[in-house]
Structure 1
Amino acid sequence: MPIVRLAAESLSVDIDPEALCFTDTANLVDQPLSWIGQERARQAAYFGLNMRQPDYNLFVLGAAGSGRSSLLKQAMTEVAANMPVPPDLCFIHNFDTPECPLAIRLPAGQGSVLQQALDHFISNVCREIPEYLNGEATRQESERINQKFRQEEAKAYAQLCAFAEKLNFVIRRESGRLILILLDKHSGKVLSEDEILQLPAAKRAAIEQDEAVLYQEIARYLEKTHPLEYKREEALTTLQQIKIQPMLAQSMAVILDSLHSSFSDRTKVEQFLHGITKNVLDNLAIFLPSENEDEKSPSALKEILACYQVNLAVDNRHLRGAPVLIEEHPSFKSLIGGIKHRVVEGMLVSNFTGIRAGSLLKAHEGFLMLYLDDLFANEQLWEKISTLLRSHSLLIEAPSATATGMPMVSIEPEMVAVQVKIVLIGSREQYYAIQEEDPELARRFRVKVDFSASFMANLQTYHALSIFIASLCQVSRLPHFSATAVVNVLTNCHREAEDQKRLTANFSRTETLVMESAAQCMARGSSLVEAADISSALQARFLRHAYPLECALEAIVDGDVVIDVTGEAIGQINGLSLVEMGDLTFGLPIRITAHAFAGEEGLLNIEREVGLSGPVHDKGVFILQNLLCALFHHNAPLAFNASIVFEQQYHGIEGDSASCAELYAFLSALSGLPLRQGIAVTGAINQFGEILPVGGINEKIEGFYRVCAAIGLDGNQGVLIPERNRRHLILAREVIDAVQQGVFHIYSAEQMSDGLEMLTGMPSGLMSDARLNEILVYEPHTVLGLAQKTLRNFRAACQQPTQAKPDNKRTHERAGK
């Protein structure tokens, strides 16, 4: 196919405003938003969200700004609205093992019912127990028990006193102690210590013997009366428990009746209420006012009552479907949960009331959206998520004592079963890295939701994007867009996708353009955004970021960077480079030069030798070498020394888009034919001489046009691009106008031979049906014929006998190796 000069009409897309079937976007505000161009992702998302089986978590792939987060949130909310409300989660005291609190799930709303019922029970029990136990009936029964045991104790005491009297002793009680008093046998008078000492030794020995006997009797008395005291206390306690038991049973029955009759953890609740009942009956004394407050700890009752409470960790009573949570800033505490501690006597302590639930527990039987970058930033959190996905259960752990720096008495809550569908937002690279490096984790994400970077352009997608613009205007209270303004936005979407047949799926950029265009409209005091506002917004944004480009242009115009855009030169051509700076991407011409001499070292890539060439560029040069061998293989062995360099480039070269220009510069150096400097060339090349498409084609063309316009357009300048890049052209209006006026030109070619003829003005010498694996004979007055003649001369020169000299062949290693 011969070289083609492209008409101005083919340099962008032509969208008819009337085909949109509306005058402005205000006509579209009542139409629903759709998954624009993402039907595959939509089907995958709803499939995954509706799957109830485990391991059908969603991994969402796509670039930031593609709407992946907002669309998945919309889908999660929609699906969750038709799902049942999950149960509440409560933590309760474990009466058997207090350091291991229990977890119970109750139907939604029942957690707060149980919590309030127990709070009401606590306030009632503190009031009613003293009333019951201090009632007249209880007092009378208690008095009868006391009287009974007092009588038995009095009888035993009387027997003891009678026994003591026989031995001339009297027993008195003082402050709970028994005191022995010795009496004179004849007078009955109390003997003092001095009088006892004056008695004969035999008499004193007899008294001491009687005293020992009496002590034995006192011991038997105490052995007899102490069990009576225990029996009395036991009888009183039993009486109190009998009195309180019906009240507690009735209270527990009321609490159980307030709950649903059937749920999975009802048995646990019944056991918990039974534990409360038993604990109350075992500690009735604490509920009674003490006559001696010093003997009673002021916090004892508070600690007992705390065990009867319910820690409502997850309360779903206000939900109208399954929960939908989005963790924008996940931490271990916010995602997993934690245990709150308090300082007691220099030590951290906690109980079940300090347990806090994180998003994973709150999202039980619902949806939780996470961002993979956030999880990768916290290795401990990522490991916890991986464990959850594998075991479907979660353990809330307290921080270690080393982490807190204080001694700790913590708790170990019961592990909680969790059924949550995780929607993980990540990149395509992260997805395939996990597939390869961690297949065990990868199988937990069985649903791949793949958002494409672009989609086909047609009237349906144009209409959907118009509805998107209308929705933005409605929500953000912006002026609406006319049909011609929408056409300009759609054209920019084509440019973002670099394709006349496709539109970009980066809706955040579209949203930015809509807002900035609306600002231009409001600045001129209009209520309707027109096409000129879109152009003004794009120009204003470009000017805000274009300082590096202006500096580069000034360097070229001032001659600091040498670029020729007129005349001809041998072994010299203008290639096109793409400069990407994050917020700014632009194209610039770059001078490529080549030299060729007789020798045996072949083609030298100077950028590679000094370490400024990337692997893709190196690959392009190797392909170029093989193409040269194919073109001149009938002249083998080839004998030449050649070098190719990108002039005034000091920051590295990557990509193969200049390989076609490198080939032209080298063939010019071999043939001695000059190349047109007003034509810049971009395009990759394969081993068969076909010109392949490259990226950034619009920025490259516009970059060379700016240089030519700054230096001066003479009507002969232009750009040669691959034919396969034609559908990627969405050029700026000023470039299209220049082409329309004939002062700038854009050419396309499929074969390198076509471009060679245009640049040199001579036949290439390669027939269109020629096969490079055949022996080719080029006509003498063609580019390849002249190059062939030069190569033969080089070989002849190398075959002449020369004086032996040291071998100083250069190696092909990079600098620094």
Structure 2
Amino acid sequence: MSISNLIPADLRFNIIPESLGFSDTSELQYDSLPWIGQERAEMAARFGLGMDQPNYNLFVLGETGSGRSSLLRQAMEAAASNKALPPDLCYLHNFDAPERPQALFLPAGQGRLLRNLLAHLVKSIQSEIPGCLEGQEFKAESERIERNYKEAESRIFSELEIFAEMRSFSIQREAGRMVFTLLGKKKHALTEDEVLALPKEKRAEINQAEQELRAKIAGYFEEMRPLERLKINGLVELRRQVVKPVLDRELQEIRHGLDHKYQDYAKLDAYLEQVMQDVLNHLELFKTADMDEESHSDILGKVLSRYRVNLVVDNHGLKGAPVLVEDNPTFHSLFGSIEYQSESDVLVTNFTRIRAGVLHKGHGGFLMLHLRDLLADEMIWEKLRRFLRSGKLQIEEPGMAFSPMAAVSLIPEVVHVDVKIILIGSREQYYDLQEHDPEFARSFRVKVDFAESFLSSPETRRASSIFIAHASHNLGLPHFTAAAVARMLEDSHREAEDQTRQSAIFSRAEALVMESAAFCRTRSGILVNEGDVEAALRARSLRHDYPAQRIQESIAEGDVLITVHGENVGQLNGLSQVDLGDYRFGLPVRITARTFAGEDGLLNIGREVEMSGPIHDKGVLILQNYLSALFAHIAPLAMNASIVFEQDYYGVEGDSASCAELYVLFSSLSGLPLKQGIAVTGAVNQYGEVLPVGGVNEKIEGYYRVCEAAGLDGSQGVLIPSRNRRNLMLERNVIEAVASGLFHIHSVEHTSEGIELLTGVPAGIVGGTGSYPAGSVLGLVQSTLHAYRRACQLRDHQKEGKRHLR
């Protein structure tokens, strides 16, 4: 094993603009967004969108900004264009149960047609029915019926008059009542006093005659009732016979105008028959003479409103299946609603106030939702779970039960809805759903997993160039030169922290397109060039790097102690990264160790004060076990050691400082000083192998800035794991310093290589006797540990002697 000194070519992946195959992005075809590096997600999406079986909804998981929503919408639109047109959905009045409006599916566009045809029907019957009821034929026949009734009434009344006269009574009709009067000998009406003056026998005769007359009057009314019913029924039947041909003609036109082959035609035909019967049952409301009466007009209006069509889903003009995206899913927007209005302190409604939700509108197509939005409302979540289980939707107003006002409620007919849901969420949400709600998860059998990065190739670089061209075109921005595109692609590698992979978070690239174009327009450029991209990247960094700048100033001013010159025992600069979410930067942190004879072992001060995380604590324990393994021949170790991150006030997490901690421990035990100009990062396993760490570019650049501010003398550099070499995408100023010999980047595979670089002394390999060579680093450490052991034994012997003396 040997240490590697990296050359400039190792420190960055450079893209030659000419290798891209175009001079600027206007030469590229950019009709649609490419699925760059997302072959797995693309295959899953196409499979899921093409599956017509239930429960094959799609769960799209990946990082925000990966293009998951845009690419899925594009795929949804492509799949929708090959699907059949879904039907319209209407709600109609239910004549048998008005509180339960009927649902009706019609072929796309025919819902609007039915609405217009029924609206025409309402207008027609309002003009034609009064005309029919005023026609000569109707008048003649109705007069005949009236005449027959009057003749029969006159005949029966004449018999009643004769009966009354025979008993000295006169009788006449007044407002539907019979009024009779007792007559004297001279045919004049007797007064009450005259009647009382009559003999008792005569009064008894009169009473008997009056009872007989009353019985006869009752018989008269009994005889007239069937005749009156016959007249009324005759007039009603006459009106129906006169109007029915008009209604037959109008309704037949409606039937002829609609497609008879769809599933709900029988339901519509039955509804039209009920419309006819309802009109025929209310013909008296169409009399012209009564149309000026306000109450009569209101009643007629309410009857006619029953024949309206509430077209809640209108797919007229749609090409293919619907593609919907609901960014603000509320209960009403998803599942529909029923509108109410207040009348006399009562909330009233009817079938015309039913409103569809996006699930209704998405029938036969696709609906995209974001899981985080759904989880914000428990009521939405439960309703959606029931829908996914049954495939049926019930429009309801859940809050009406708690309304302070009385309400007339509706229960619209439940409808079956076939909509494929595309649910956008994070990986954490997906696996949490799998664990805690498996029933819901089973409804999303297609997992569309977007990668965070992908292997770079000429094909992916070409596709990324097309993405830049597409973004420029859609946003109305200047196109990019090949050199500008190459610089953006290099930035993608930097974001992925990999010379072989590109970042799949294209929202950053799109933002960089816009920001670079802004610099281009500032200089009145026609094409965005490499300098514009560089300017945009510098400006972005400047907007976010205040925390990093402030720490750099604290180091330069001496508030934070970092030594980049000379040598020190038990002291070394480790490299750390700070991730603020919108900005990452690296900075050095001093790590120190002190060792003494004792039996407490290795003490992690950060852990003792609860300022270190579990991963860092794990790294320290691994370090301790590796140390014990190196000197197992003198175990148990008689040592007290402490390690600390100096001037750390916020806590530390991660194991990337394990190597640096091991080296300061070796330095303290061996007495060998460490080169302060070389900062160290890397994790270590129990065999002393150096493992890769994250944020290596930011760590190196952060330390370089500190060294640059303190003065580069050619001795400074960093020590990184060899396994991090492909992660290097360093800034050009660092690479230039390496090229000129002012800064060095060393890579190691084993801790022994690093300690040799830092001390200038061989690490030492255990010999046949089980000991390390004298004068080597591990040999010196071994000598110190032996001395600690003797010191502890002497102390224990002295304690034992004192105990015996007592």
The two structures have a TM-score, normalised by structure 1, of 0.95
- For residue 188 of structure 2, give the secondary structure of its aligned residue in structure 1: coil
Aligned residue runs from structure 1 range 116-515, under 5 A: 116-184=116-184, 186-290=185-289, 296-515=295-514
Q: Is the 8 A contact 2:20 2:462 kept in 1?
A: yes
Q: Hey, what does 1:748 align to over in structure 2?
A: 747
Cα distance, 1:345 vs structure 2: 1.0
Determine if the alignment matches structure 1 residue 777 to structure 2 residue 776: no
- For 2:424, what is the secondary structure of its paired residue? strand
> Partners in 1 of 2:290 and 2:520 — Cα distance?
84
Q: 1:551 to 1:191 in 2, by over 3 A?
A: same
Q: How many residues align?
A: 799
Give the structure 2 partner of residue 70 of structure 1.
Answer: 70
Distance 1:109 1:686, change over 3 A: same
Residue of structure 1 equivalent to 2:735 = 736
Q: Where does residue 787 of structure 1 map in the other structure?
A: 781
Query: How many Å apart are 1:294 and its aligned residue?
Result: 6.5
Q: Offset at 1:553?
A: 0.7
Q: Write the distance in 1 (CA, Å) between the matches of 2:549 and 2:419.
A: 53
Partner Cα distance (2:197, 2:420) in 1? 99
Query: Residue 779 of structure 1: CA displacement?
Result: 1.6
Alpha-carbon distance, 1:226 to partner:
2.2
The CA distance in 2 between the partners of 1:619 and 1:781, in whole Å, is 31
Q: Which moves more between the two structures, 123-132 or 514-523?
A: 514-523
CA distance in 2, matches of 1:358, 1:402: 21
Change (3 A) 1:327 1:775: farther
Which residue identity is paired with 2:790?
A: A
Selected match of 1:801 from 797, 800, 803: 797
> Which residue type is aligned with residue 794 of structure 1?
Y
Whole-angstrom distance in 2 between the partners of 1:587 and 1:117: 73
* Aligned residue type for 2:797: P
Task: Determine the structure 1 residue equivalent to 2:561.
Answer: 562
Shift in alpha-carbon separation, 1:448–1:291, aligned structure 2, 3 A: closer
**SS of 2:797's equivalent?**
coil
Equivalent-residue separation in structure 1 for 2:193 and 2:293 (angstroms): 43
Corresponding position of 2:592? 593
- Asked if 2 retains the 8 angstrom alpha-carbon contact of 1:17 and 1:483, the reply is yes
| Residue 690 (structure 1) aligned with residue 684 (structure 2) | no
Q: In structure 1, how many angstroms separate the alpha carbons of the residues matched to 2:636 and 2:72?
A: 63
In structure 2, C-alpha distance between the alignment counterparts of 1:33 and 1:157, rounded to whole Å: 94
Pair 74,775 (structure 1): closer, same or farther in 2 beyond 3 Å: farther
1:210 deviation in Å? 2.0
Q: 1:293, 1:327 → 2: CA distance? A: 49
| Contact 1:31–1:467, Cα closer than 8 Å, also in 2 | no
Contact 2:30 2:469 in 1 (8 A): no
Superposition map of 1:546-585 within 5 A? 546-585=545-584
Equivalent-residue separation in structure 2 for 1:517 and 1:291 (angstroms) = 76
CA-to-aligned-CA distance 1:219-240 (integer Å, 9 cap, x gap): 1211221232222111111111
Partner of 1:815: none
Deviation at 1:351, TM superposition (A): 0.9
Separation in structure 1 between the aligned mates of residue 174 and residue 96 of structure 2, nearest angstrom: 44
Q: Is the 8 A contact 1:29 1:474 kept in 2?
A: no
Q: Which amino acid aligns with 1:801?
A: H
Aligned positions of 1:19-38 closer than 5 A: 19-29=19-29, 33-38=33-38
Q: Which deviates the most, 427-436 or 206-215? A: 206-215
Q: For each residue in 1:110-133, what CA deviation from the matched residue of structure 2 results, as whole angstroms up to 9, or x when unmatched?
A: 111111110000101111111111
| Partner of residue 804, structure 2 | none
Aligned position for 1:54: 54
SS of residue paired to 2:238:
helix
Compute the displacement of 1:775 (Å).
Answer: 8.5
Confirm or deny: 8 A CA contact 1:660 1:682 kept in the other structure: yes
Per-residue CA deviation, residues 148-181 of structure 1 (Å, 9 max, x unaligned), is: 1222222221122121112111112223221111
For structure 1, the residue ranges without an aligned partner over 5 or more in a row are: 806-817
Question: What CA distance in whole angstroms lies between the structure 2 residues aligned with 1:790 and 1:206?
Answer: 151
| 1:766 CA drift (Å) | 3.1
State the Cα distance separating 1:29 from its structure 2 match. 4.4
Worse-matched range after superposition: 516-525 or 642-651: 516-525
Contact 1:594 1:642 in 2 (8 A): yes
- The CA deviation at 1:208 is 2.2
TM-score between the two structures when normalised by the length of structure 2? 0.96
Task: Spell out, residue by residue over 1:25-59, the C-alpha distance to the aligned partner (whole angstroms, 9 max, x if none).
Answer: 22224676421111111111111111111111111
How far, CA to CA, are the matches of 1:256 and 1:278 in structure 2?
16
Tell me which moved more, 148-157 or 734-743: 148-157
The match for 2:527 is 528
Question: Which amino acid in the other structure matches residue 764 of structure 1?
Answer: A
Output one character per residue of 1:196-223: Cα deviation in whole Å (capped at 9) or x when no partner. Answer: 1222333323322321222122112112
Contact 1:375 1:381 in 2 (8 A): yes
The aligned runs of 1:94-109 (5 Å cut-off) are 94-109=94-109
**Equivalent residue of 1:471, what SS?**
helix
Once the two structures are TM-superposed, the CA of residue 290 in structure 1 deviates from its matched residue by 4.8
- 1:432: how far off? 1.4
- Give the letter for the 2:78 counterpart: E
Q: CA deviation at 1:521?
A: 2.2
Partner of 1:811 in structure 2?
A: none
Offset of 1:298 from its aligned partner?
3.2
Query: Is the contact made by 1:720 and 1:747 (CA closer than 8 Å) also made in structure 2?
Result: yes
| Percent of aligned pairs sharing the same letter | 54
One-letter amino acid matched to 2:773: E
**CA distance in 1 between partners of 2:97 and 2:243 (Å):** 26
d(CA) in 2 for partners of 1:60, 1:400: 33
In 1, the alpha carbon distance for the partners of 2:769 and 2:693 equals: 31
CA shift for structure 1 position 17: 1.9
Deviations 1:375-413 (A, max 9, x none): 111221122222221111111102433554322111000
Query: SS at the partner of 2:578?
Result: strand
Q: Which has the higher mean CA deviation after the structures are superposed, 542-551 or 745-754?
A: 542-551
What is the one-letter code of the residue matched to 2:7?
A
Secondary structure of 1:299's counterpart equals helix
Runs of at least 5 residues in structure 2 that lack an aligned partner in the other structure: 802-806
| 1:111 alignment partner in structure 2 | 111
1:640 deviates by 1.8
For residue 594 of structure 1, give the secondary structure of its aligned residue in structure 2.
Answer: strand
In structure 2, how many angstroms separate the alpha carbons of the residues matched to 1:295 and 1:182? Answer: 46
What is the distance in 2 between the residues matched to 1:128 and 1:50? 53
Report the residue type matching 2:783 in the other structure.
K
Greater shift after overlay, 206-215 or 363-372?
206-215
Cα RMSD after superposing both structures: 1.8
Q: 1:804 to 1:366 in 2, by over 3 A?
A: farther
Task: Give the counterpart letter for 2:788 in structure 1.
Answer: F
| Cα gap change, 1:165 to 1:364, in 2 (>3 Å) | same
Report how far residue 4 of structure 1 moved.
0.7
Q: Deviations over 1:276-321 (max 9, x none)?
A: 0111111111122355976954311111111111111111111011
Deviations 1:753-803 (A, max 9, x none): 110111111111236xx9xxx984212212112222222222233332354
